[in-house]
Structure 1
């Protein structure tokens, strides 16, 4: 299509529509990426919770279904935390009443909740499989690893939640920057600061980042339909990244309880919480968030906080009870529609073009 007012992302990534599917770990896989990619957007595979063999299998499925289409592999760039037995113990003690209520074994060893950061093995995988796009969350990997990624020809994206982060990412080699507003669901991409009050909304963030960097900007957060795409383009973005809206699609791998929460929660019932992983992430408010408060100084560092919740989830999840499960969602959840992902992608693009052409 030639009607888009800003073709920089289209040309950079080799896509037809300025729509990127957010790589939501645990909630999306090759089926979602295939649907979005076939429609002309950029499909993504979240890799932080997958083994190398699983990643290779997912890529193979995508390439078989979408030959010639670009694919985004997404990785986390966090530093694994140092052991802190005292903090772990305090956190588990805070959860003890729930163990007693549900009959979970409090004395049993605490399971380990893990997310793999981008490392030597990940880099070798990228060098072997050569995805067209590699995106990062929580900054960028070590310079020597990043240079090896770029040497494969992959375009590099990463998320910025402040102007300072965007400038840093451009200086360190990003080909485009995802401007992640406060409205966005899932983990905040913040990496230069842990101060949550530094976070601002998408439509305040996008034009400031667009003014501060020369590379293309991708708007993310609170965008669920064509109106968000049109507004983002007007504010200086070249494209949008959409997450929560895709969770309503049949290709999403979310639990029945998560789907029910997405269908019924008011838009005002999301909050940033660190209870489930140790990093701020936006989700639908549930029992544990209400009773402990969504942000707790007791929660262990990312990604360890979820370990002590696992025995509780093992009991409640099979019952369709989401009291102790993360229900990631952005603030635009009430814009969600039950459409196949490819149809949703095309509908957003078509209606945006109609509005731009008026």
Structure 2
């Protein structure tokens, strides 16, 4: 079965899920025009997950995906639902205080509320019965995959290396996203640290295609028809695109973020732990440089929760130097501010598209 039939979509184009930056409007738009819209559930509690699913179904009757972060726990990190270390909090707050003050945001007091537990998120996501559940940061358990399949939900996992792709196939997923090092946002590596798992899309995609029998969705460095054509030439069955869609008016990214995406150059993006505590690709700004100089970066997700306070204030003020300017290395190829136009540009690179 090809990927479009497997997922119930018309066009093999997937919207990248944005953890914390997903938009019902953008997700529904991509699904409604024949692709697979995706909504990232990072940080959302069960009630909000149910609400998101209802809002999506009010906007489209087409298939959509919900995305969850598996509870990968690296040294020093707190698992979802667990509390944080007071020493980490104190050190991070001292380093971040000038950024809170600049944004006019109040420093969150101790104790900091933990993220919703993964089991509660999963229960709500399964109950929502999306066409697809996609995962980052690990291999979903056999029980999870079996339950999703029992409910008619397809399961997609994300790999940054060939061994991760093989592990996902062995775990029973229906398709694998091969996420090249060029991709925006968090690096979802899980078998090794992200810094030693940086494989470019041109190397990663064909090697994953050769290593697994399930369909491969190419991600990372794809922003126009040329990237789509290249991904399919390398053996991909679909492409997943983030930055080009994040730059559209249907996204929730503030205007200054969208403008920076369209004007960025490939060499300008960096991998940094400064804003969230985990390695992620974006455009460096004053906040990133200030935090990195301080040397006091709390483990994920505490760092992400703390910086999120001044980032929300900065978003309302249109202050780009205090935002997480997530974007991939091909961000500057984004030319359109409407998601329908982005979709049409990408579709023009599909093998069956007229030349």
What residue is the counterpart of 2:24 in the other structure? 30
Cα deviation, 1:179-204, whole Å, max 9, x if unaligned, reads 00000001111111114132111111
Q: Number of residue pairs matched?
A: 347
Q: 1:350 to 1:103 in 2, by over 3 A?
A: closer
Out of 328, 331, 342, the residue aligned to residue 330 of structure 1 is 328
Out of 31, 37, 50, the residue aligned to residue 43 of structure 1 is 37
SS in 2 for 1:268: helix
Alpha carbons 1:73, 1:131 under 8 Å: kept: yes
What residue is the counterpart of 2:122 in the other structure? 123
Alpha carbons 2:183, 2:281 under 8 Å: kept: yes
Alpha carbons 1:202, 1:221 under 8 Å: kept: yes
1:90-239 to structure 2, matched below 5 A, reads 90-98=91-99, 109=109, 112=112, 115-116=115-116, 118-119=118-119, 121-239=120-238
Alpha carbons 1:167, 1:213 under 8 Å: kept: yes
Q: 1:74, 1:56 → 2: CA distance? A: 13
Structure 1 position 58 matched with structure 2 position 56:
no
Out of 278, 297, 303, the residue aligned to residue 299 of structure 1 is 297
SS in 2 for 1:352: coil
Q: 1:103, 1:127 → 2: CA distance? A: 39
Alpha carbons 1:10, 1:18 under 8 Å: kept: yes
- Divergent runs of 4+, >6 A: 100-106
Question: What are structure 1's unaligned runs of at least 5 residues?
Answer: 1-6
What residue is the counterpart of 2:66 in the other structure? 73
SS in 1 for 2:322: coil
Alpha carbons 2:247, 2:257 under 8 Å: kept: no
Q: 1:215 to 1:115 in 2, by over 3 A?
A: farther
TM-score by length of 1: 0.87
Quote how far apart the aligned CAs of 1:306 are.
2.5
Q: 1:251, 1:222 → 2: CA distance? A: 21
Cα deviation, 1:73-112, whole Å, max 9, x if unaligned, reads 1111124634333233333333345457777767x62584
What residue is the counterpart of 1:3 in the other structure? none
Quote how far apart the aligned CAs of 1:50 are.
2.8
Q: 1:84, 1:288 → 2: CA distance? A: 23
SS in 2 for 1:134: strand
Question: What are structure 2's unaligned runs of at least 5 residues?
Answer: 79-83
Superposed CA RMSD: 2.6
Quote how far apart the aligned CAs of 1:329 are.
0.5
Q: Which moved more, 1:12-21 or 1:262-271?
A: 262-271
Alpha carbons 1:183, 1:201 under 8 Å: kept: yes
Alpha carbons 1:229, 1:352 under 8 Å: kept: yes
Structure 1 position 11 matched with structure 2 position 9:
no
Q: 1:283 to 1:117 in 2, by over 3 A?
A: farther
Q: 2:147, 2:287 → 1: CA distance? A: 42
What residue is the counterpart of 2:81 in the other structure? none
